[in-house]
Structure 1
Amino acid sequence: MKKILVIRFSSIGDIVLTTPVLRCIKQQLPDAELHFLVKKSFAPVLIANPYIDKLHLFEDDLTVITDSLKKENFDFIVDLHHNLRTLRVKRALAVKSKSFNKLNVQKWLLTALKINVLPDKHIVDRYLEAAAPLGVVNDGKGLDYFIPENEKIADSDLPAAHQLGYIGLVIGAAHATKRMPVEKLEELVGLLDHPIILLGGPEDKATGARLEATDPIKVYNACGKFSLNESADLVRRAKLIISNDTGLMHIAAAFRKPVISLWGNTVPEFGMYPYYGKRSFNQVLPFEIVERKGLRCRPCSKIGYDACPKGHFKCMREIPVPAIRTLVQQWLLKA
Structure 2
Amino acid sequence: MHSNRVKILIIRFSSIGDIVITSPIVRCVREQLNAEVHFLTKEKFQGLVDDNPFISKVHTLQNNLDETIALLKNENYDTIIDLHKNLRTAKIKKAMNATWYSFNKVNIQKWLFVNFKINFLPQEHLVDRYFKGISALNVINDKQGLDYFLPPEFSFDLSSHNLTKGKYIVLSIGGTYTTKRIPNDILLALINRLNKPVVVIGGGEEDSKNATYLEQHSSNKSLTNLCNKLSINESAYLIQNAAKVVSGDTGMMHIAAAYNKPIESIWGNTHPLFGMYPYFPKKTENLSNMHQVDLKCRPCSKLGSSSCPRGHFNCMKLHNVEEIVKNCNSIEGIQ
Q: 2:174–2:202: 8 Å Cα contact kept in structure 1?
A: yes
Once the two structures are superposed, the pairs formed by residues 85-96 of structure 1 within 5 Å of their partners are: 85-96=88-99
Q: Distance in 2 between matches of 1:60 and 1:81?
A: 17
The residue number in structure 2 matching 1:165 is 167
Residue 217 and residue 329 in structure 1: after superposition, are their counterparts in 2 closer, same or farther (change >3 A)?
closer
Q: Secondary structure at the match of 1:185?
A: helix
| Displacement of 1:70 | 0.6
Counterpart amino acid of residue 126 in structure 1: R
Task: Look up the match of 1:195.
Answer: 197
Q: Distance in 2 between matches of 1:59 and 1:13?
A: 21
Runs of 4+ with deviation above 4 angstroms: 161-164
Aligned to 2:317: 317
Q: 1:29 aligns with which of 29, 33, 47?
A: 33
The percentage of counterpart residues that share the same residue type is 45
Q: CA deviation at 1:60?
A: 3.1
Please point out which of 219, 227, 232 is paired with 1:228: 232
Residue in 2 aligned with 1:99?
Answer: 102
Deviation per CA, 1:90-114: give whole Å up to 9, x if none.
Answer: 0011321111110000000000000
Which residue of structure 2 aligns with residue 108 of structure 1? 111
Counterpart of 1:333 in structure 2 is 332
Query: Normalising to structure 1: TM-score of the pair?
Result: 0.95
- Encode CA deviations 1:266-305: one digit per residue, 9 max, x unaligned: 0111111100222x3xx22311010101x11100000011
Structure 1 distance, partners of 2:259, 2:241, is: 9
TM-aligned CA distance change 1:264 to 1:275, over 3 Å: same
Equivalent residue runs for 1:1-335 within 5 Å: 1-30=5-34, 32-158=35-161, 160=162, 165-203=167-205, 204-213=207-216, 214-215=218-219, 217-278=221-282, 280=283, 283-293=284-294, 295-330=295-330, 332-333=331-332
Distance 2:167 2:239 in 1: 11
- Code of the residue aligned with 1:304 in structure 2: it is G
TM-score by length of 2: 0.95
**Contact 1:167–1:195 under 8 Å retained in 2:** yes
**2:165–2:242 Cα contact (<8 Å) kept:** no
SS of corresponding position for 2:308: coil
